[in-house]
A and B are shown apart, each in its own frame.
Chain A
């Protein structure tokens, strides 16, 4: 427990809050990096996922690719890209965007697929155009599952952003690697605690968001998380 006391002391030591390696700056870097990567991946994955979900085309390909991506080790991709483009921020951004796409894509199209066909047929029967069906029916009903996809992607990015410090000078991972290198237990534990807190905070925010996006009037009992989608696919 002594080590944890040291870590807490490190967390509250005012000298760790000044300069370019300040805890505050590293937290913001980590958060900024996570959100920006999430935006990059979403811009690609969400429209594609909606297209697959609405038309049903390319579904097999998407499922297959998502499965293959799960087996690709993040550290391998990160070091490979870093070696090709050089040390810097390009490698982490590129590698993490690629890794964040499959969960968002899965969230987007499973959201569309989970909708009862009768609901869509009813929308068509009352005279809605395809565009209206997507915007007014499919999109709102699919939001909880899409949010689930964004949630898994975010967790993935926060975790891998820590690893990104291995190839670039960014984020909270710096404390972990510096601590490991100098056997500075307070720093590596303190840094780890910060990453874990950040991840749990984001997880909490997404849990709330996921509940908020369920349209009013949608009956209880719908699958609202991505795992329900995954196990269904796997079956």
Chain B
């Protein structure tokens, strides 16, 4: 454990590297997934193509993607940009499906009421469907955040510095404490980002605070509608 105390600077530096690698993909994947998810939700043809596309993308293992991607987009294997693009792709693959499901979970009656009072499709999306799908989107984004932080460590084996470098370095030099420190720091960073997202959700969606079951309500009424 003495290793950890004498190398706190190193752990902190790698944590910052890790934040630089993992935060942009989380934000980017959300921004890209919303329009794609909307297309998948709105158009039947789009749904099949987009959802099977992201399904296949998600099936591609990370290390091979990190290696193949630079030859397609023209970055170098070690560049942080390469990792950011790859992690964004995984985030999009996870998030598109969540956006499509979240939008579909909005109560049909609510949607029809919005239409009846004269909302355009654009207004209806931003003022009714998007906010009501919010809790589902947040849940999806939390999964994206945690898995992005975890996946980013893989970049260390191709030489991109992150908390994963503590694993490769610790393994090569036989320092167990370094690997343990890396695991703990990764989990703590993941939990911190997760917590930040939960807080952001409470700020942006104050209505979910008073009624914790609000997110589940549309599903229940769907069931009732079927019954």
Q: Are B59 and A200 in contact (CB under 8 A)?
A: yes
Q: Are A231 and B136 in contact (CB under 8 A)?
A: yes
Total interface residues on B, CB under 8 Å, equals 52
> 1/0 per residue B185-227: CB within 8 Å of A?
0110011000000000000000000000001100100000000
Q: Does B153 contact A (CB under 8 A)?
A: yes
Q: Are B143 and A75 in contact (CB under 8 A)?
A: no
| Smallest Cβ-Cβ distance to B138: which chain A residue | A234
Given contacts A155-B61, A196-B65, A235-B135, 8 further A-B contacts (CB under 8 A): A67-B146, A79-B179, A159-B61, A159-B62, A162-B61, A166-B157, A193-B68, A202-B59
Q: A234-B139, A235-B139 are in contact. Are A176 and B64 (CB under 8 A)?
A: yes
Q: Which 6 A-B pairs have the closest CB atoms?
A: A159-B61, A192-B64, A234-B139, A79-B171, A71-B190, A203-B59
* Contact residues in A for B135 (Cβ distance below 8 Å): 235
Of the listed stretches A21-29, A36-44, A80-88, A107-115, name the one at the interface; the rest are far from the partner chain.
A80-88
A76 vs B157: C-alpha distance in the bound complex, in angstroms? 11
Total interface residues on A, CB under 8 Å, equals 49
Q: Are A188 and B150 in contact (CB under 8 A)?
A: no
> 1/0 per residue B138-179: CB within 8 Å of A?
011011001101100110111000011001101100101001
Residues of A within 8 A of B (CB): 3-4, 67-68, 70-80, 82-84, 155, 158-159, 162-163, 166-167, 173, 176-177, 179-180, 185, 188-189, 191-193, 195-196, 199-200, 202-203, 227-228, 230-232, 234-235
Q: Does B182 contact A (CB under 8 A)?
A: yes
Q: Does B180 contact A (CB under 8 A)?
A: yes
Q: A162-B64, A166-B157, A193-B64 are in contact. Are A76 and B183 (CB under 8 A)?
A: yes
Main secondary structure of the interface of B (DSSP, over half): helix
| Smallest Cβ-Cβ distance to A185: which chain B residue | B71
* Contact residues in B for A74 (Cβ distance below 8 Å): 150, 153-154
Q: Are A76 and B158 in contact (CB under 8 A)?
A: no
Q: List 5 A-B contacts (CB under 8 A).
A: A76-B186, A79-B171, A83-B174, A162-B63, A191-B64
Q: Are B64 and A80 in contact (CB under 8 A)?
A: no
Q: Are B142 and A234 in contact (CB under 8 A)?
A: yes
| Smallest Cβ-Cβ distance to B152: which chain A residue | A73
A4 vs B179: C-alpha distance in the bound complex, in angstroms? 35
* Contact residues in A for B67 (Cβ distance below 8 Å): 176, 179-180, 188-189, 192
| Smallest Cβ-Cβ distance to B77: which chain A residue | A180
* Contact residues in B for A76 (Cβ distance below 8 Å): 153, 164, 167, 179, 182-183, 186
Q: Which of A189, A191, A227 has the most CB of B within 10 A?
A: A227
* Contact residues in B for A185 (Cβ distance below 8 Å): 71
Residues of B within 8 A of A (CB): 55-56, 58-65, 67-68, 71, 77, 97-98, 101-102, 135-136, 139-140, 142-143, 146-147, 149-150, 153-154, 156-158, 163-164, 167-168, 170-171, 174, 176, 179-180, 182-183, 186-187, 190-191, 215-216, 219
Q: A167-B171, A231-B98 are in contact. Are A155 and B64 (CB under 8 A)?
A: no
Shortest Cβ gap from A79 to chain B (Å): 4
A83 vs B167: C-alpha distance in the bound complex, in angstroms? 10
A235 vs B219: C-alpha distance in the bound complex, in angstroms? 10
* Contact residues in B for A4 (Cβ distance below 8 Å): 71
* Contact residues in B for A77 (Cβ distance below 8 Å): 183
* Contact residues in A for B174 (Cβ distance below 8 Å): 83
Q: Which of B59, B77, B150 contacts A73 (CB 8 A)?
A: B150
| Smallest Cβ-Cβ distance to A76: which chain B residue | B183
| Smallest Cβ-Cβ distance to B64: which chain A residue | A192
* Contact residues in A for B146 (Cβ distance below 8 Å): 67, 70-71
Q: Are B176 and A83 in contact (CB under 8 A)?
A: yes
Q: Are A227 and B97 in contact (CB under 8 A)?
A: yes
Q: Are A71 and B149 in contact (CB under 8 A)?
A: yes
* Contact residues in A for B179 (Cβ distance below 8 Å): 76, 79-80, 83
A179 vs B182: C-alpha distance in the bound complex, in angstroms? 26
